[in-house]
C-alpha cells in the first residue's frame, strides 16, 4: 500500500493562514494505490498530533456513495477542500447530493456548513475573505476561543 495523493483536510485546510489559529491535531486524507480491507473504503489512524484517513482509490461517485452510506456527517468535510475536489472532479451539483449530511453536522463543525453554504452561493469551490472570516468566527465560537 502506497499513498497516491495526500490532502490536508479539516479546519487547517481553511484557517492555517490566521495568526491566532491553533489546532489540537492535523487532519490528512491519503488515497492509496491499493486497499486490502474489503469491508470498508476508509481506515482511520490517530498518531500523536495527526489524524490520518486512508481511503481506497475511488472516483467521485465512489466517494459520494461511500460518504452517504456511512451516515457519518463528519465525513463530508473532505468535499469542501478544493485540492480534493479538483482531484476527484467534483462540481457544485455533486455537492447538493451531500446536503443531508451537512445539515446533520454537530456544533463543533458548523463552520463546515457555513463553507458549504458559501460554495453554493458562489456556485464554485472558493470563499471570499468575508465568508472565510465568518466560518472562522464560528469555528472559534464552537470551541470557546
pLDDT for 39-61, tens place per residue? 999 999 999 899 999 999 999 99
What is the pTM for the complete model shown?
A: 0.94
Question: Smallest Cα–Cα separation from 31: which of 66, 67, 7, 62?
Answer: 7
- How far, CA to CA in Å, does 51 sit from each of 7, 80, 127? 12, 17, 25
Q: Please state, for a pLDDT cut of 70, what percent of the chain lies above it.
A: 100
Backbone phi and psi for residue 50, each to the nearest 5 degrees, phi listed first: -120, 140
- For all residues of the chain together, what is the average pLDDT? 95
Domain residue ranges in the chain: 3-142
- How far, CA to CA in Å, does 16 sit from each of 44, 57, 96? 22, 27, 27
Give the separation between CA 6 and CA 88, rounded to whole angstroms. 13
Q: Would you place residue 23 in the very low, low, confident or very high pLDDT band (cuts 50, 70, 90)?
A: confident
- How far, CA to CA in Å, does 36 sit from each of 6, 32, 45, 58? 19, 10, 16, 14
* pLDDT score of 76: 97
pLDDT for 66-88, tens place per residue? 999 998 999 999 999 999 999 99
Give the separation between CA 9 and CA 13, rounded to whole angstroms. 5
The dihedral sign for the CA sequence 136, 74, 124, 120: negative
Per-residue pLDDT at 24 exceeds 90? no
Amino acid at each position: 500500500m502506497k499513498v497516491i495523493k495526500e490532502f490536508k483536510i479539516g479546519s487547517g485546510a481553511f484557517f492555517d493562514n490566521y495568526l491566532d489559529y491553533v489546532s489540537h491535531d492535523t487532519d490528512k486524507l491519503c488515497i492509496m494505490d491499493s486497499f486490502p480491507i474489503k469491508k470498508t473504503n476508509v481506515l482511520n489512524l490517530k498518531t500523536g498530533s495527526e489524524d490520518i484517513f486512508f481511503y481506497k482509490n475511488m472516483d467521485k461517485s465512489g466517494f459520494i456513495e461511500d460518504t452517504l452510506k456511512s451516515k457519518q456527517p463528519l465525513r463530508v468535510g473532505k468535499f469542501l477542500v478544493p485540492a480534493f475536489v479538483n482531484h476527484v472532479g467534483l462540481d457544485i451539483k455533486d455537492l447538493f447530493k451531500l446536503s443531508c449530511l451537512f445539515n446533520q453536522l454537530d456544533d463543533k463543525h458548523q463552520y463546515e456548513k457555513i463553507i458549504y453554504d458559501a460554495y453554493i452561493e458562489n456556485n464554485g469551490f472558493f470563499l471570499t475573505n468575508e465568508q472565510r472570516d465568518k466560518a472562522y468566527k464560528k469555528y472559534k465560537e464552537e470551541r470557546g476561543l
